[in-house]
Amino acid sequence: MTKARGKLIVLEGAEGVGKTTQLRRLADTLTARGVPHRGVREPGGTAIGNQIRHLLLEPGPGFSARTEALLFMASRAELVETDIRPALARGEVVLADRFFLSTYAYQIAGRGLSETEVTAANRFATGGLVPDLTILLRLSVAAALARTDSRGARDRIESASDDFHHRVAEAFDRFAEPTWQRSHPESGPVMAVDAAGSVDEVAAAVLTTLEQTWPETFRPAVGSHS
């Protein structure tokens, strides 16, 4: 019997909304429930992807918006080919810290690149892989900044202008709209979760979203205590 394909679940949102924290929490819960899974992050997650991540985020020579977009998608291409697709084929749940919606928010809305061209380039990079679900963590810009500023120095993209971050934040807001999702099938379904609560509260909301969408995969087995 062929194994059922796994699920690609993406956590998205602007910097500081709590994606990495929630991805770890979710991974712990899936471990406790015996659900095979793996976590990946973008950019990075592979040997070449980690080198690209360094180029993209660390201070260094500047590059054009097109080069930036292609580097993000090169990192994604490698991750999809060598890690995500094999894991999905093994029937695992893949938890991704960012995916194409980040390119949409930062490179299309933020940098002003062509939606048609970047979407086509992304399709080439991913071979047409679409997330099964994106959980969009929503938090006010001020609250998210307060969380990231406690961390110290900003990276190359975090240091961009306020206008840029405004356009990015507006784009993330649009992703939650059903009309936007219907006209952007390459992004897959998106469900918004309020990220303003405590880590435990947000983790419970994320888990509930997944349990309601796929009870057979995410609900604890009868007799389990997790």
Residue 18 makes contact with ligand Z5A by CB under 6 A: yes
Q: Quick one: tokens of 113?
A: 């690149």
Query: How far apart (Å, rounded) are the C-alpha atoms in residues 97 and 40?
Result: 6
Cα angle 160, 131, 94 (rounded to 5 degrees) comes to: 95
Helix or strand or coil: residue 112?
coil
Considering only residues 79, 94, 157, 210, which one is a binding residue for ligand Z5A as defined by CB under 6 A?
Answer: 157
Stretch that binds ligand Z5A, among 124-132, 155-163, 175-183, 205-213 (CB under 6 A): 155-163
Considering only residues 7, 19, 25, 167, which one is a binding residue for ligand Z5A as defined by CB under 6 A?
Answer: 19
Considering only residues 35, 94, 118, 202, which one is a binding residue for ligand Z5A as defined by CB under 6 A?
Answer: 202
**In the sheet that 7-12 helps form, which strands lie side by side, from edge to edge?**
37-41, 93-97, 7-12, 133-138, 190-194
Contact 9, 39 (CB under 8 A): no
Stretch that binds ligand Z5A, among 11-19, 80-88, 182-190, 207-215 (CB under 6 A): 11-19
Residue 21 makes contact with ligand Z5A by CB under 6 A: yes
Query: How far apart (Å, rounded) are the C-alpha atoms in residues 19 and 11?
Result: 6
Bridge partner list, 37: 93
Which residues, 6 or more positions from 226, have their beta carbon under 8 angstroms from its beta carbon? 29, 32, 33, 220
Q: How far is the CB of 140 from ligand Z5A (least distance, A)?
A: 13
Residue 17 makes contact with ligand Z5A by CB under 6 A: yes
Residue 46 makes contact with ligand Z5A by CB under 6 A: no
Query: Is the torsion defined by CA of 113, 64, 144, 40 positive or negative?
Result: positive
Residue 83 makes contact with ligand Z5A by CB under 6 A: no
54 vs 151, beta carbon nearer ligand Z5A: 151
List residues near ligand Z5A by CB under 6 A.
13, 15-21, 42-43, 72, 98, 102-103, 106-107, 147-148, 150-151, 155, 157-158, 198-199, 202
